[in-house]
Structure 1
Amino acid sequence: MATNLIVRNIDEDVALALKKRAAANGRSAEAEHREILKAVLKRPRRRSVADVLASMPDVGEDADFDVRKG
């Protein structure tokens, strides 16, 4: 089901940028707004650094990576 969305108090420079982007893409500002929202909200979420580190395989002992000189 489609829903109407009203966005108020948009800075003039943001509204102008939206209109310029819409014109460059051959769309209305409203259609461009829909495309931007869809692109941002439906893309996969970025993984956090903690998630990336946790997914790394266990490949040795901590001492193998100790670069401190004694």
Structure 2
Amino acid sequence: MADLLVRGVDPAVVRALKKRAGDHGRSAAAEHRASLAAMPDVGRDADFARHQDGGASADVFD
């Protein structure tokens, strides 16, 4: 499984995620994974700004 590191997150967002994790009875990391897994599988690269990959993939959620 891959790792994902997100820097520069607003402290209020971090607090909200930690609260949500507690409300759901899981760790912050488990809550983050659940939030990401719940994202809709929609969109194409043309819909989003891409950085540092040269636009190699046609689909965002491959």
Q: Same fold (TM over 0.5)?
A: yes
Tell me what 1:62 maps to. Answer: none
TM-score (norm 2): 0.63
- Which structure has the larger Rg over C-alpha atoms? 1
What number of residue pairs does the alignment pair up?
43
Distance 1:6 1:44 in 2: 21
Task: State the one-letter code of the partner of 2:29.
Answer: E
Tell me what 1:5 maps to. Answer: 4
Query: What aligned pairs does 1:1-70 form with structure 2 within 5 A after superposition?
Result: 2-40=1-39, 43=40, 45=42
Dislocated runs of 4+, deviation >2 Å: none
Task: Kindly indicate which of the two structures has a greater share of residues assigned to helix.
Answer: 1
Aligned-residue offset at 1:44: 5.1
User: Which ranges in structure 1 are unaligned for 5 or more consecutive residues?
Assistant: 46-70
Task: State the one-letter code of the partner of 2:21.
Answer: A
Distance 2:28 2:18 in 1: 5
Quick one: higher RCO (CA 8 Å, sep 6+), 1 or 2? 2
User: Which ranges in structure 2 are unaligned for 5 or more consecutive residues?
Assistant: 43-62
Cα RMSD between the aligned structures?
1.5
TM-score (norm 1): 0.56
